[in-house]
Amino acid sequence: MNRKSMIKRLASLNLAVFVILSLAVIAAVGTIYEARFDADVASQIVYRSVWMYLILGLLATILTAVMIDRWPWKVRHIGFVLAHIGILVLLTGGLITQNFGIDGSMYFEIGTNSRWVTINDKEISVYSTFDGNRFTDLFHRDVNFLKEPAKDKMISIPVMDGSIEIVDSLNYAQFSERTIASKDPLDGGALRFQLFNNRVNELQWLTQSRSGKTAVSEFGPLRLMFGNTQTIDPGINILSLEAKNDKVLKYAVYKKEVTKPVKVGLIQEGDELDLPWMGLKFKVLRFLSKAHREWEVKEVARPSAMTTSAIMVKYKDQKQWVQLNDIVRFFTPAGAYVVKYGQKRVDIGEEMLLKKFSVGRYQGTRRAMAYESVVSVPGLGERLISMNEPLKFNGYTFYQSSFQENPQTGEPIASILSVNKDPGRAIKYLGCIIIILGIIHLFWFRQKQKKGPEPG
């Protein structure tokens, strides 16, 4: 087959129809995946699949072959050629965006700095520590368990006294936590309690991460502390509890601005304690002097608000599930290993400060009507980011996306921004302009042909 014959075949209408139908089928499959799962799954399984790239490559080949087939070009071909070049430029811009663009989110607590954008890509990190304060990086790796499940391709991470292994992964897991008694001397205690009055009824576990550590829980104006309570902040109301023995707890009640406890004593399972705030009562439901938290995990077929990705980590004879954006610790006689499974973070290059966040609500309700952030940006000063007014900085575009409230008071405590970086945007705009110019020329030339040559 000679060169001209090959170009004729590539430029055929039948091949073009095949490509258009193939793109329609892929788009339909992608829509089904997105409806059944989510946009990330549709992107990885369909839109970034080998088949999608092959069809787009074939489309680019057809467009190029059609232009070559018309060579040498004449004036009447200008619009036609521009339209085809524009589509090729548009495809190039889309490819650059897909492979090098960033879509993520940035979380700010009011009055704090941030320079990190969290994206959907996932990674595993392992650290070692000997004192719980200083950490040494041992391992980092990007992972995609949707395409490469850990059970099919186990990850082994060498450490000083053996290896840490990722032996299983779940794309959609439902977790339920339980606290059980332990015989490990390194484990801390656990306390299940009820805090209640005529309007409040809270039941929770307070579990020490390790023996000697302090577990803390906040309830509006009250802080509960369980464990080592030698350091007390006099600026808040505190109920502190510490184990006296395997069955009895010592308690101390501190009022705001008072450095000495206003009430002390002993308490055990089943006992109630009257607190000097809002008629609150504290009841010990269960006390374990040594305990650890254990996750019960159930795999489900589709994602929901209750599901998360998870991995099973093995160290020696210990196995633990770790859900996305969480850590697990394996203690050794010399220290500990910390394994983190989380979403990747991208550094935007500069720190931004959230100075103020405000929420407008519908009259008579707590429903948010509009919200906005005032951020301090290096080199730009203070800038407002609202739902209709994004910020452009360092090649990123920041959109006001959401916010987080204090569950007790309902007041906003953090702002959440949606962050986008699109390196192919200028190329896509250029492609659109070229296509428009081609269409304009096609209409202009057709009108000119209808009028015929000017009388001379």
Domain ranges of the chain: 3-101+424-451, 103-116+346-421, 129-178+297-341, 190-289
Mean of per-residue pLDDT scores for the chain: 90
Model confidence over 384-395: pLDDT tens digits? 999 889 999 999
Residue 368 vs residues 372, 384, 407: alpha-carbon distances, Å: 11, 18, 15
Write the CB contacts of 391 (distance below 8 Å, at least 6 apart in sequence): 375, 377, 383, 385, 397, 398
Structure tokens at 157: 């991470």
- pLDDT for 297 beyond 80: yes
If pLDDT is split at 50, 70 and 90, which confidence band does 453 have? low
Dump pLDDT digits (tens) for 350-377.
999 999 999 988 887 878 888 999 999 9
Phi and psi torsions of 298, nearest 5°: -130, 125
Of 12, 40, 46, nearest in space to 28 by CA: 46
Q: Using 50, 70 and 90 to split pLDDT, how confident is the model at 220?
A: confident
Report how many helices (DSSP H) and strands (DSSP E) the chain contains, helices first. 6, 24
pLDDT of residue 442: 87
* The two three-digit tokens of residue 222, written as one number: 């009250």
Does position 78 have pLDDT exceeding 80, yes or no?
yes
Tokens of 21: 């139908």
- Of 119-123, 225-229, 326-330, minimum mean pLDDT range: 225-229
Cα gap 248→267, rounded to integer Å: 6
- Residue 52, SS3? helix
Q: What is the pTM of this model?
A: 0.72
Spatial separation of the C-alpha atoms in residues 189 and 291, rounded to whole Å: 5
Q: Which of 163-167, 279-283, 288-292, 450-454 comes out lowest in average pLDDT?
A: 450-454
Instruction: Residue count of the chain, please give it.
Output: 456
| 9-39 pLDDT per residue, tens | 888 889 999 999 999 999 999 999 999 998 8
The pLDDT score that the predictor gives to residue 265 is 94
The burial class, CB within 10 Å (0-12 / 13-18 / 19+), for 411 is exposed
Q: Is the pLDDT of residue 274 over 80?
A: yes
Average pLDDT (186-205) is 90
Mean pLDDT, range 287-312, rounded to an integer: 90
In this prediction, residue 409 carries a pLDDT of: 75
What are 54's two structure tokens? 């092959």
Peptide bond preceding 72: is omega within 30 degrees of 0, i.e. cis? yes
Is pLDDT above 50 for 456?
no
pLDDT bucket at 1, cuts 50 / 70 / 90: low
User: Judging by beta carbons within 10 Å of its beta carbon (0-12, 13-18, 19+), is residue 313 exposed, middle or buried?
Assistant: buried
pLDDT tier for residue 93 given thresholds of 50, 70 and 90: very high
The tens digit of pLDDT for each residue in 127-158 reads: 999 877 889 999 999 999 999 999 998 999 99
Quickly count: other Cβ atoms within 10 Å of residue 258's Cβ.
12
For 9, phi then psi, to 5°, come to -65, -40
Nearest CA-CA partner of 86 in 58, 63, 57, 62: 63
Of residues 421 and 229, more confidence is placed in 421
Q: What is the DSSP letter of 208?
A: -
C-alpha torsion angle, residues 203, 209, 210, 216 (rounded to 10): -60
